[in-house]
Chains A and B, each alone.
Chain A
Amino acid sequence: MKNKILTSLLLLPVFVLAVCMLRLNYMSHFEKVEVAVQGYDPKDFFSGYYMYLRPDWEHTDCTQFADNVCPKSNFNNTYTFYIKREQSDKLTQKVNAGVAKLQFSYSAGFEPIITDLLIDGQSFMEFIEEKK
């Protein structure tokens, strides 16, 4: 009996993390919106290097939202975008030049989930590939 309880408890982390994955995956398939950003790149102990980005509402097209109003309160003050260390310099230059936008999966009532970083309208992966 004791072993059965312990064995089933072993699956608790798998279950919880799988539910988290599914929920976040569901949330990342809402309508896409683009928010202009500024930022820099530090490193996280668990998930590696990332860019620390701050929404720039002055340069964001608010017509993509309901009633043509940017729902600033639904977004955080800062966001993190995970990248490889060697990519950070090129991307930081573009972010500082003000041509970067974060693409979010957004639906009212849910937390916006980042789906891509856009540089001059193209995905950052395509941008990096072009620069190679």
Chain B
Amino acid sequence: MVTLNQIKPSEAGNKENYWIMVLLYFASFLVGLGIVAEVAANWQNIPDAVKLGGALVAMLINAGAIWWTMKADKPILKQVLCCVYAFLIMGVIGLIGQVFHLHANAANACFLWALISWPLIFISPRLLWLWTPLFFFGCRYMPYMVNEMVSEGVFGDAGNIPPFYRFDNAILNVLRTYLAFVFILAYEIWMNFADKNNKTIVRPLRCYSGLFLLGMYGSASFFAHLLPKIDAARQMGAYFEFALPIVITAGLVYALNCKMKRKSFMPLFLIGILLQNMYIYFFYKHSSFWSDWFGAEEYLPIVFCVLIWIYALYNHMSKLAKLAVFSIILWFVFTFGDHVYDIIPSLIVCAVITSCAYFRRNRKWFNTGIILAVLRILVYYGNVENLQHLGLYLIGSGVLLIATTLLLTKYSKIIWEKKDEK
């Protein structure tokens, strides 16, 4: 059986330029998002059969191209094509939803995408950077999905999963809701037993596990959203339904790490999430503070992140401190408006981070700057009106960036060698 650990050495064996790869992934992201935008533009003049058939043909061509790159040993192009393929799958899911007018639900689409696109991770492990957050999002156990969970009755009756995704709605809904905790457990088990030198897999898992926890920690909106919508009798029930998997996961992780004599901040964080929400629950129940002070919940995440940062600095926990700083930056990136001009200050912040990282040769912050830019563009895309033009713009700029970067790879050795000499 093929495992992720077996895949890695072959990828590491190809002496690729890390910075070039990051740029290529960014370009592939632009092309992929462009494809999604073009699908979303809704081309009503083209018959449905042509649209669906064309989508399948495009997928087959892309899969064939990946197969060719594997055979011809072209690692860089293989990873680019895998990334485009991942987005193409996403676009086709959107297209099917559009053609058959299926209930719009991004979480369901992400869940289906995560279920069928996992083989790509074995070919290009870096896709974990994309797969992991979408899997989390699809699992729904994200703080900002709580609102939707309540409206769909996850805490009460069986959820209202659209027909397309309804295999067995009750079981599937429960399963997907708690899959995130299975993922946390799997991550902890993997950290105990697997090859810790496999950075390609360790980095995204570690980063997103931390972000996921910080996101849950930082979001104080759970009960602020939940409480007004459900009656008092269901409030405690909902709280226990929220708390139970957290307590079980924290206990299991703690027991596992005790047995393996490994330290992990995961159990503490999980219990922290619980305490935070318990505080909000009782605070909300006995005060009209939340409803009177409009927008307060938007500022709570940044307050929590700053507190975590101070706590980490005080306790000399450098990794946690970095994660908190990253979350603080994330907050600043996402609190700008949605107009096209509002994207500029965010991208300037990203460019400054990336440039500073480049000159100080700090890969982590270089990566951070690029990923933040990607996220900011995603947020902007979510609010743009003319999808047709945006799609063409994204595909065009992505292809241009890929072409430029591939040309650069031919001459990059000279550039980077000179920089190293300095």
> Does A associate with B in a complex?
yes
Measured CB to CB, the residues of A under 8 A from B are 2-3, 5-7, 9-14, 16-18, 20-21, 24, 28, 42, 44-50, 52, 76-85, 111, 113-114, 125
Question: A20-B96, A48-B40 known; A79 and B101 CB under 8 Å?
Answer: yes
What's the Cα separation between A9 and B92 when bound, in Å? 18
Partner of A48, one of B103, B123, B387: B387
Partner of A84, one of B39, B42, B94: B42
Question: A6-B2, A46-B39, A47-B95 known; A79 and B103 CB under 8 Å?
Answer: yes
Most buried by B among A16, A17, A49, A114: A17
B93 at the interface (CB under 8 A from A): yes
A14–B93 touching, CB < 8 Å: no
B13 at the interface (CB under 8 A from A): no
A80–B103 touching, CB < 8 Å: yes
For B333, the chain A residues whose CB sits under 8 A away are none
For B408, the chain A residues whose CB sits under 8 A away are none
Sample of 20 more A-B contacts, CB < 8 Å, known A10-B66, A46-B40, A85-B386: A5-B2, A10-B123, A17-B56, A17-B89, A17-B96, A17-B116, A18-B56, A24-B96, A28-B100, A44-B94, A44-B97, A44-B106, A45-B381, A45-B382, A46-B94, A47-B98, A80-B104, A82-B42, A84-B44, A85-B387
Partner of A12, one of B66, B116, B387: B116
For B122, the chain A residues whose CB sits under 8 A away are 6, 9
Q: How large is the interface on B (under 10, 10 to 19, 20 to 34, 35 or more residues)?
A: 35 or more
Question: A47-B39, A77-B160 known; A3 and B70 CB under 8 Å?
Answer: yes
B289 at the interface (CB under 8 A from A): no
For A82, the chain B residues whose CB sits under 8 A away are 42, 97-98, 101
What's the Cα separation between A21 and B95 when bound, in Å? 10
The contact string, 1 if C-beta is below 8 Å from chain A, for chain B 120-135, is 1011000000000000
For B60, the chain A residues whose CB sits under 8 A away are 11, 14
A6–B102 touching, CB < 8 Å: no
Question: A13-B117, A82-B42, A84-B42 known; A47 and B70 CB under 8 Å?
Answer: no
Q: What's the minimum C-beta distance from B142 to chain A, rounded to whole angstroms? A: 15
Can you show 5 pairs from A to B with CB atoms below 8 A apart? A3-B70, A3-B71, A24-B102, A48-B387, A82-B97
Question: A20-B164, A47-B94 known; A125 and B119 CB under 8 Å?
Answer: no
What's the Cα separation between A3 and B66 when bound, in Å? 11
Q: 8 Å CB contacts to A: which residues of B63-106?
A: 63, 66-67, 70-71, 85, 89-98, 100-104, 106
What's the Cα separation between A3 and B69 when bound, in Å? 11
Closest 3 A-B residue pairs measured CB to CB? A46-B94, A111-B163, A48-B40
B236 at the interface (CB under 8 A from A): no
Q: What's the minimum C-beta distance from B3 to chain A, rounded to whole angstroms? A: 10
A111–B166 touching, CB < 8 Å: yes
For B104, the chain A residues whose CB sits under 8 A away are 42, 44, 46-47, 50, 52, 80
For B120, the chain A residues whose CB sits under 8 A away are 10
For A21, the chain B residues whose CB sits under 8 A away are 52, 56, 96
B243 at the interface (CB under 8 A from A): no
For B59, the chain A residues whose CB sits under 8 A away are 13-14, 17
Q: What's the minimum C-beta distance from A105 to chain B, rounded to whole angstroms? A: 10
B42–A48 touching, CB < 8 Å: yes
Partner of A46, one of B71, B90, B385: B90
A46–B91 touching, CB < 8 Å: yes
For A83, the chain B residues whose CB sits under 8 A away are 42
Q: What's the minimum C-beta distance from B71 to chain A, rounded to whole angstroms? A: 8
For B385, the chain A residues whose CB sits under 8 A away are 85
What's the Cα separation between A82 and B166 when bound, in Å? 20
Q: What's the minimum C-beta distance from A82 to chain B, rounded to whole angstroms? A: 4
What's the Cα separation between A5 and B101 when bound, in Å? 35
What's the Cα separation between A10 and B117 when bound, in Å? 8
B162 at the interface (CB under 8 A from A): yes
Q: What's the minimum C-beta distance from B101 to chain A, rounded to whole angstroms? A: 4
What's the Cα separation between A111 and B165 when bound, in Å? 11
What's the Cα separation between A103 and B91 when bound, in Å? 26
B160–A76 touching, CB < 8 Å: yes
Most buried by B among A18, A28, A125: A18
